[in-house]
Homo-oligomer: A and B are copies of this chain.
Amino acid sequence: MLKDADQGFVDHLRGMLPERALRAPEPRHLEEPRGRWSGQAAVVVAPGSVEEVSAVLRVCNDARVGVVPYGGGTGLVGGQVAGEGPVPVLLSLERMAAVRATYPQENVIEVEAGAILQDVHDAAEAVERLYPLSIASKGSARIGGLLATNAGGVNVLRYGNARDLCLGLEVVLADGRVWNGLSRLRKDNTGYDLRNLMIGSEGTLGVITAASLKLAPRPAGEGTALMVVDSPADALALLALARDRMGEGVSAFELMHRMGLDFLADKLPDIRLPFETAPEWFVLIDVGLAAGLDPAGALEALFAESFEAGLVSDGIIAQNEAQRHAFWEVREQIPEANRRVGSVSSHDISLPMGAVADFIDRAGPALARLGEFRINCFGHLGDGNLHYNVFPPAGRDKTEFHNLRDGIKTCVHDLVHDMGGSVSAEHGIGRLKVGDLERYGDPVKLATMRAIKDVLDPNGILNPGAVLRHI
């Protein structure tokens, strides 16, 4: 049974650590990003070294005090905000933010867990390399949190998610022991894969303190196009054609719906919209090609071939960096427009690629039986990952529909589950989806997860209540 981090315990921590390592929680530490609950923490502890992280965990484990690891605070499922149970300590990695070393010839970078994603991008660029993981919150998200949640983003199609881009980890276990797995090796078959067990465990099995990450060569030339398709099914056929022609050169393939453009026009009128008449469905294709290929030319050839095949009806190919940026701006500002409209219920789902179009065909009518809504469905089609967000009718407010929220969520998630999909594609479980995991997860998997949790963290101090219900 966990105990509160009471004044005596906080004083004990204070005696162990430098003064600057402890401070009172700020509002940002206690905010659940979608406002469903508020968090609690007795103190924010920001260690400056793996030894200090180890010391903190050791005393917390001995005292049965919960520890909530905290990166950039940008997670969308409440994994970083404990709202109930005994008062925990919040362990922030913000003071371990160094980029320790880059190895351009190896395509490797070694960073501390508190390094901010944008800083990692910059360090890679300084040696003419690319760290491909990219998400909207890159200016504040930290590597430790990105790994703990196995973050995704727009370049997963080509480069994989946070898991695929990690070579090694340093992790402090619940009892303070340090696993030094900070390898730069591309191949290492010596025992069980603890790295991937830690990645995606959302701070419930250990605290990541450092990581070695894969870099990629920068493509010789890049290009972006918007293409209008009749349906998500045609978008998938277009993607297959693009990959047949350009292989790994297809870096991103994002599906968008007219609703996104309507929301942008309404809420962010300064964003320049690319089409005279908004199409029902369209895709953003981003390519990064090898030397000797002209990206705009390759996109034109793709357009011509897919137009001929009846897959696309219109398209615009960016002629310069400014236009590329403008196309991406449309995609990247849709979430902000969504936020301003205010969704009744938002879903981060994935499906087998072949089931995506069918899901979209079925989900709309299923929701229509619950009421009249606007749906903005968009996302990383190349990964089968949709952000399927449900909004009130025009002129109405989300608060009027709070009583329908759970029903909408269940409707969407049941359908996703029936079609072999996942109810958390890239955001994780956190505290928000613990019930969903119990409802939809394979029972043998759940039992195995519980067994692993109990043996690696027998007192249950690590991020209590996240991923698995605290018992």
Contact = CB atoms under 8 A, between A and B. Distances in A.
Interface of A: 103-108, 149-150, 152, 156, 160-161, 163-164, 173, 177-181, 183-194, 196-197, 199-201, 205, 216-220, 236-237, 240, 243-249, 288-293, 298, 301, 350-354, 380, 382-385, 420-429, 433, 436-437, 440-442, 444-449, 451-456, 467
B385 A245 contact: no
Given A103-B354, A246-B291, A192 B452 contact: yes
Contacts of A422: 183, 185, 187-190
B291 A245 contact: yes
A248 B350 CA distance: 26
A192 B205 contact: yes
Given A298-B292, A449-B192, A383 B444 contact: no
A426 to B, nearest CB: 5
Counting chain B CB atoms within 10 Å of each CB, which of A177, A292, A423 scores highest?
A292
Given A244-B217, A245-B291, A352-B184, A189 B150 contact: yes
B190 A441 contact: yes
A434 B203 CA distance: 30
A186 to B, nearest CB: 4
Nearest to A206: B448
A291 B104 CA distance: 28
A108 B447 CA distance: 28
Nearest to A246: B290
Contacts of A187: 152, 156, 161, 350, 380, 383-385, 422, 425-426
Contact of A350 (B103, B188, B424, B451): B188
A240 B426 CA distance: 32
Contacts of A186: 156, 350, 353, 382-385
The 7 closest A-B pairs by CB, nearest first: A196-B196, A106-B353, A188-B422, A248-B248, A184-B352, A187-B425, A186-B383
Contact of A248 (B193, B247, B446): B247
Given A179-B445, A352-B103, A444-B173, A191 B149 contact: no
A393 to B, nearest CB: 31
A173 B444 CA distance: 9
13 contacts: A105-B354, A150-B193, A156-B187, A173-B444, A185-B421, A192-B452, A193-B199, A193-B200, A194-B448, A216-B247, A218-B244, A248-B248, A248-B249
Contacts of A291: 244-246, 298, 301
Given A179-B442, A245-B220, A353-B106, A193 B184 contact: no
Contact of A188 (B247, B380, B424, B446): B424
Contacts of A453: 192
Contact of A445 (B191, B383, B420, B433): B191
B451 A456 contact: yes
Contacts of A440: 190
Contacts of A451: 455-456
Contact of A189 (B149, B244, B353): B149
A448 B442 contact: no
